[in-house]
């Protein structure tokens, strides 16, 4: 049997594996945050589009101004946008 096969891995190998796993986790987190920020930007643009519509346009799509103004103005709302 080869003596290298029974020898434990050096600490640098464990550290390298830790860095690799950390990099994968950070990349996953960055992708998740990118999707979240993109969703926030879309939501803000949607709110702006609704705010710029006339009452007639809102009624054509089945909404009134209170449908989207009230939740946004509520200070207790958990939606910060």
Crossing angle for the helix pair 11-52 and 65-73, nearest 10 degrees? Answer: 140
- Express each pLDDT in 54-75 by its tens digit: 989 989 988 888 776 655 555 5
Closest among 54, 45, 52 to 81, alpha carbons compared: 45
- Express each pLDDT in 28-59 by its tens digit: 999 999 999 999 999 889 888 888 899 899 89
Q: Kindly report the number of other CB atoms within 10 A of residue 72's CB atom.
A: 13
Q: What predicted TM-score, i.e. pTM, was given to this entire model?
A: 0.56
Distance separating alpha carbons of residues 44 and 65, to the nearest angstrom: 16
Higher pLDDT, residue 77 or 43 = 43
Give the residue extent of every domain in the chain. 40-74
Q: With 90 as the cut, is the pLDDT of residue 18 above it?
A: yes
Q: What is the largest CA-CA distance in the chain?
A: 84
pLDDT at residue 69 in the model: 65
């Amino acid at each position: 049997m080869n003596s290298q096969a029974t020898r434990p891995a050096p600490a640098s190998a464990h550290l390298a594996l830790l860095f690799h796993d950390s990099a994968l986790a950070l990349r996953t987190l960055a992708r998740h945050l990118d999707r979240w920020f993109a969703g926030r930007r879309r939501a803000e643009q949607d709110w702006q589009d609704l705010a710029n519509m006339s009452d007639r346009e809102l009624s054509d799509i089945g909404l009134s101004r209170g449908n989207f103004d009230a939740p946004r103005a509520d200070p207790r709302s958990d939606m910060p946008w």
